Structure 1
Amino acid sequence: MTIEVPYQPIPVGQTDVHYAHGPDSAPQPDVPVGETIEFDWNDSAIYPDTSRKFWVHVPARYDPAEPASLMVFQDGWWYLDPAGEVRGATVLDNLVHRGDLPVTIGVFVDPGVFPDAEEPKNRNTEYDAYDDAYAGFLLNEIIPEVRKHYSIAEDPDRWGICGGSSGGNCAFTAAWLRPDKFRRVIGYLSSFAQMPGGNPYPEVIPRVPRKPLRIFLQAGHRDLRWNEPEANWLAANLRVAAALAEAGYDFRLVLGDGGHSPNHGGVLLPDALRWLWRSDVGDSPGCCPSSPYSRIERCPEQ
């Protein structure tokens, strides 16, 4: 099947580019608004002495008798904020209402802070590490708390995780090390280039048996140090994408313009979620529908 993409000119300048949000990123008059509940988490065993908030968004169609799918977002409030670039709860409401997604509960988790420390942020320690500590934090602390209140499916094919910048490689690492739990991944402008000890994935991905992951990546032409020989964020993302391609993963890379901004990734969230949750096992039947709000490559002909 061939999907024709409407013509859209590309900007000549690549630095100061802003993508327009589509209708799925705005409240719609015929779509009921779900419920968002705020939680405090101040007693972490995995990240002692940290405090944070997290939010649970429950679409209006949620039925406690039917376990919901799960989507975890890093940098919680940035991804939840209805006036921000990502607008995660609004997108979930719209897609669930139309049946583009199964009923999916969104969990939006802020990084930890040390309230009384000179350097209060624990974000990079949590997000950039190449270990399973953060996945364990979600699986042993946050998600069990969510499950006290809501019914979540056990099937790991119904669990996804999303983040941008350091939250992007955090999402990738959580799924990479715990594919028994997280199998659908979104990484926007992921900070693979600043992982302690270097970006392991271009070497690791081809060396191990393929994991049951479906991965959506977004990278930017003018991301940090885009034309530098070291710590080049664009190049690091492209190397991860190349490794996934060579290893035969079900993945998608969308390359856009602009710098290190959540704008393009936020605009892509509806299409990314539709692509991650497509029902086919092949590529062509599940390509996202044509959209003027994102660059969607042409599907291969059958």
Structure 2
Amino acid sequence: MATEIPYRELPAELDDVTYRFGPDSERQADVTPGEITEFTIDDSVVYPGTTRRCWIHVPAGYDPQGEAALMVFNDGWWYLDPDGDVRGGIVLDNLIHRGEMPVTVSVFVDPGVFPGADNPKNRNAEYDAFDDRYASFLLTEVLPVVTARFRVSSDPDMRGICGGSSGGNAAFTAAWERPDAFRRVIAYLSSFSQMPDGNPYPRLLMSEPRRPLTIFMQAAHRDDGWNQPEMNWLAENLEVAAALAKAGYDFRLVLGDGGHSANHGGVLLPDALRWIWRDATPAPK
């Protein structure tokens, strides 16, 4: 069935643009909020010396006798904060309540920090690296905490990962390196250009066998370096999207206005989740 999109005048200026949240990003009176529990990881093997907070979101429709789908959100609290730019828990509650995505247990994972260090943040080292360490960290140190408490599917088609900026790199790379563990990806404003050895994906997508991934991307017309020959975050995202298209991947690109901001991706989260899960069997209402 054809979808008609109402006319909306495009802004003449591309820089100072803010997108308004839709109803799926607001609490609804008839939707019971999910339960959120927090845990910490203070003894990481993959990232020694780091500590981090994580949160598990379990929707009201979770049935301990069944198996839920799984979502991982990088930059944990940034994506979970109900008053923030993304509001992940609220969005999940609304979509799962209406059966627009499977019943899903989600874990929101902060990047690691080195307590007491002059430069405590380990975010870029974890998220921008082109290797399997972050995926291994999730699989061996984070998800066992989740699966010890809740029943989630081990089927990679029922597992997704989401992130933005460097967190978008981490989401893309985790699925690329471990398609046996994660196959549904949401990557906002990915900072492919600041990966240590450059962006490998335009070449790899065209030269390696197609992986069974479903990928939702968001990019911005005025992302960092948008008109520069190097370190151009907009161009790098477009090159990855073009390679995905040429290689026949199941992907969707949404190109918006504004700069390097979580606003547009946050507003798009309901649409992104609906799209990546569109072929999954919805949970009964």
On whether the aligned pair clears a TM of 0.5, the verdict is yes
User: How big is each residue's C-alpha offset from its partner over 1:185-210, in whole Å with a ceiling of 9 and x where there is no partner?
Assistant: 00000000100010000011110111
Structure 2 SS opposite 1:73: strand
Structure 1 SS opposite 2:54: strand
TM-score by length of 2: 0.97
User: 1:101-140 counterparts in 2 under 5 A?
Assistant: 101-140=101-140
User: How big is each residue's C-alpha offset from its partner over 1:1-39, in whole Å with a ceiling of 9 and x where there is no partner?
Assistant: 321111111111100100000000010000001100010
Shift of residue 106, structure 1, vs aligned partner: 1.2
Is 1:29–2:29 an aligned residue pair?
Answer: yes
Q: Where does residue 214 of structure 2 map in the other structure? A: 214
Q: Where does residue 179 of structure 2 map in the other structure? A: 179
CA distance in 1, matches of 2:7, 2:14: 18
TM-score by length of 1: 0.92
Shift of residue 230, structure 1, vs aligned partner: 0.3
Is 1:162–2:171 an aligned residue pair?
Answer: no
User: 1:72-91 counterparts in 2 under 5 A?
Assistant: 72-91=72-91
Is 1:229–2:232 an aligned residue pair?
Answer: no
Shift of residue 269, structure 1, vs aligned partner: 0.3
CA distance in 2, matches of 1:37, 1:9: 43
Q: Where does residue 68 of structure 1 map in the other structure? A: 68
Q: Where does residue 263 of structure 1 map in the other structure? A: 263
User: How big is each residue's C-alpha offset from its partner over 1:224-243, in whole Å with a ceiling of 9 and x where there is no partner?
Assistant: 01001100000000000000
Q: Where does residue 8 of structure 1 map in the other structure? A: 8
User: How big is each residue's C-alpha offset from its partner over 1:50-85, in whole Å with a ceiling of 9 and x where there is no partner?
Assistant: 000000000000011111000100000000000001
CA distance in 2, matches of 1:66, 1:93: 18
Structure 2 residue identity aligned to 1:226: W
- What root-mean-square deviation, in Å, do the aligned CA atoms of Structure 1 and Structure 2 show? 0.7
CA distance in 1, matches of 2:17, 2:56: 32
User: How big is each residue's C-alpha offset from its partner over 1:231-268, in whole Å with a ceiling of 9 and x where there is no partner?
Assistant: 00000000000000000000000000000000000000
Structure 1 SS opposite 2:143: helix
Which structure 1 residue ranges, 4+ long, deviate > 2 Å from structure 2?
A: none
Q: Where does residue 297 of structure 1 map in the other structure? A: none
Q: Where does residue 283 of structure 2 map in the other structure? A: none
Structure 2 residue identity aligned to 1:142: V
CA distance in 2, matches of 1:4, 1:146: 41
Shift of residue 111, structure 1, vs aligned partner: 0.1
CA distance in 2, matches of 1:65, 1:8: 46
CA distance in 1, matches of 2:154, 2:55: 21
**Structure 2: runs of 5+ lacking an equivalent:** 281-285
CA distance in 1, matches of 2:64, 2:201: 39
Is 1:204–2:198 an aligned residue pair?
Answer: no
CA distance in 1, matches of 2:100, 2:9: 28
CA distance in 1, matches of 2:41, 2:177: 24
Structure 2 residue identity aligned to 1:256: G
Q: Where does residue 286 of structure 1 map in the other structure? A: none
CA distance in 2, matches of 1:263, 1:30: 26
CA distance in 2, matches of 1:49, 1:169: 23
CA distance in 2, matches of 1:227, 1:39: 42
CA distance in 2, matches of 1:3, 1:90: 26
Q: Where does residue 150 of structure 1 map in the other structure? A: 150
Shift of residue 116, structure 1, vs aligned partner: 1.6
Structure 1 SS opposite 2:114: coil
Q: Where does residue 298 of structure 1 map in the other structure? A: none
Structure 1 SS opposite 2:55: strand
CA distance in 2, matches of 1:114, 1:91: 31
User: How big is each residue's C-alpha offset from its partner over 1:102-139, in whole Å with a ceiling of 9 and x where there is no partner?
Assistant: 10111000000000211000000000000000000000
Structure 1 residue identity aligned to 2:122: N
Structure 2 SS opposite 1:273: helix
User: How big is each residue's C-alpha offset from its partner over 1:246-301, in whole Å with a ceiling of 9 and x where there is no partner?
Assistant: 00000000000000000000000000000001128xxxxxxxxxxxxxxxxxxxxx
